[in-house]
Amino acid sequence: MAPATSNSLHRSGSRPQLDLSKAAIQGNSEERDPTILLPNQSDDISHFALDIGALKTSKSYFSGSLIKLVYFSRHEGQSIDDKRKRTVKEISNGSRRSYPILGGRLHFVKFETSKLNECLDFISSKQLHNGRIDSHYWNSESPNKENAVIKATGGGAYKFADLFKERLGVSIDKEDEMDCLVAGANFLLKAIRHEAFTHMEGHKEFVQIDHNDLFPYLLVNVGSGVSMIKVDGDGKFQRVSGTNVGGGTYWGLGRLLTKCNSFDELLELSQRGDNRTIDMLVGDIYGGMDYSKIGLSASTIASSFGKAISDKKELEDHRPEDISLSLLRMISYNIGQISYLNALRFGLKRIFFGGFFIRGHAYTMDTISFAVHFWSQGQAQAMFLRHEGFLGALGAFMSYEKLGLDDLMVHQLVERFPMGAPYTGGKIHGPPLGNLNEKISWMEKFVLKGTEITAPVPMAPPGTTGLGGFEVPSSKGGTLRSDASALMLVFSILYPLWRCSRY
């Protein structure tokens, strides 16, 4: 059972509030899943939320399933009794009191579901479960242990509820997975100024949020399978399509064909591959020439794995690196193409891609981007998310408002970089912002009035090679991201008998 709750946490006389004023992303522009700094946080909220993947094989939980954790913490090394900086809050009886400004962070952490005990140990070591919300939270010095509740989504929220109760003494309040996915995406796209970015031919550009044109958009969540969701507003969405050919297909076929032991190993192989040894190109059919009449260059893929038909080679005669790259290109291209066709179907210009299949991998993003650009004839671009794998967990985190965390003190989140200044390797769309203190909080509108806030459509330069196939993107991405070894694959495709599946 969980240890007794400490009384040292600061609680205001009213509901605790998450203060995002002057919040900033910690880290450089290339860092994935960066910590969000909350310099003006006064309440010690100390709660967390989980997105627990739980695809089970016949014997054990598959190693590709992930647990995503979002939690709040005070600034390290700052005492709760530090009275040098204080803020004034109005409490429930109308009086006003002064509280210390503690500062804090939102953290994003992941674990393999097969190593669930490591996640539980982490939660216990951080004492996150001792600051959770319960029905007596607001008027007691320490939470009522018997009513302790944490928010979670994903299949594991059901499968592992008893284990959380046994190990941590907390109950899991299960949130709908698709609701959390959309809520997390909406929050990030509105709150974090440079959450979304484009990635084409190795060039990364951040998309500045325009508060007048976000909805509707297409959210493509790519994991083992793919869900395509038309988002019309806060809490307004519809899953309009999907495909069972996704990251799970890449990992499954790749494992059979290359004998790789992990998704990361398979992805690493693709960095050194040459798909031309396996894929049939237009030039292979037309004697090395372009098919210029219909706009296809000689390097366009005519048939993925097409050369395996004519080559008198066995599987062991092909390099695993080439197989991995060919497979990655085939699946990524098709995801991009199907996504654009669904966007076209509903007249959507904004397409955001998330999910742990992408994982910031440059060549994957380039391939998806090329497909969207190609089939839209330059009229649309794929956009990606820095916290791509934490949409569900963040949505569950935000759902604490149902237990009282609904009067958030939120202001626009911005990057900790000069406004309007370009990042290394990319530039920022749109004009710089002025003094944020002069701006009206979008989140206050979002929470109190449901105001819709939207983003622009980054447009690609006109001109494509035409219809009919795909050319080889000019960038494959040099290396995997520094945190790739800690990542596996998770998905949220809906099946008829299992609404949201994960692995």
Note whether 259 and 173 are same-domain residues.
Answer: no
Note whether 364 and 397 are same-domain residues.
Answer: no
DSSP 405: T
Looking at residue 232, its pLDDT comes to: 96
Q: How many domains does the chain have?
A: 2
Give the CATH number, domain containing residue 376: 3.30.420.40
> What confidence tier does 101 reach under pLDDT thresholds 50, 70, 90?
low
With contact defined as beta carbons under 8 Å apart, do 447 and 188 qualify? no
The answer to whether position 60 is within a domain reads yes
The answer to whether position 162 is within a domain reads yes
Note whether 256 and 379 are same-domain residues.
Answer: yes
The answer to whether position 267 is within a domain reads yes
Q: Averaged over 244-254, what is the pLDDT?
A: 94
* pTM of the shown model: 0.72
The answer to whether position 311 is within a domain reads no
Q: Does the pLDDT of residue 482 top 80, yes or no?
A: no
Q: Averaged over 260-276, what is the pLDDT?
A: 92
How far apart, in whole angstroms, are the C-alpha atoms of residue 103 and residue 125? 21
Note whether 40 and 181 are same-domain residues.
Answer: yes
Q: Which residue has the higher pLDDT, 107 or 53?
A: 107
Q: Averaged over 183-187, what is the pLDDT?
A: 91
Note whether 39 and 178 are same-domain residues.
Answer: yes
How far apart, in whole angstroms, are the C-alpha atoms of residue 22 and residue 436? 8
Instruction: List, for residues 291-338, the tens digit of each pLDDT value.
Output: 988 888 898 899 999 999 887 889 999 999 999 999 999 999 999 999
Note whether 322 and 258 are same-domain residues.
Answer: yes
Looking at residue 256, its pLDDT comes to: 96
CA distances from 109 to 72, 106, 393, 396, 473 (A): 11, 10, 10, 14, 32
Instruction: List, for residues 190-240, the tens digit of each pLDDT value.
Output: 877 778 999 999 999 999 877 778 999 999 999 889 999 999 999 999 999
Its domain, for residue 274, covers 242-278+318-385
Give the CATH number, domain containing residue 43: 3.30.420
With contact defined as beta carbons under 8 Å apart, do 17 and 94 qualify? no
Record the tokens describing residue 401, joined without a space: 């408002």
DSSP 391: H
Q: Which residue has the higher pLDDT, 96 or 335?
A: 335
Q: Does the pLDDT of residue 188 top 50, yes or no?
A: yes
Instruction: List, for residues 17-51, the tens digit of each pLDDT value.
Output: 677 666 667 878 788 788 877 787 777 676 799 99
The answer to whether position 349 is within a domain reads yes
H or E segment to which residue 205 belongs: strand 203-206
Note whether 32 and 68 are same-domain residues.
Answer: yes
**Among 143-152, 238-247, 259-268, which is the least confidently predicted range?**
143-152
Give the end of a domain, one of 339, 354, 385.
385
Q: What is the DSSP string of 356-375?
A: TTTTT-HHHHHHHHHHHHHH
Note whether 263 and 356 are same-domain residues.
Answer: yes
**Arithmetic mean of pLDDT over the chain:** 74
Note whether 171 and 22 are same-domain residues.
Answer: yes
The answer to whether position 351 is within a domain reads yes
Buried b (16+ CB within 10 A) or exposed e, 7-20: eebbbbebbbbbbb
Note whether 172 and 274 are same-domain residues.
Answer: no
Looking at residue 354, its pLDDT comes to: 94
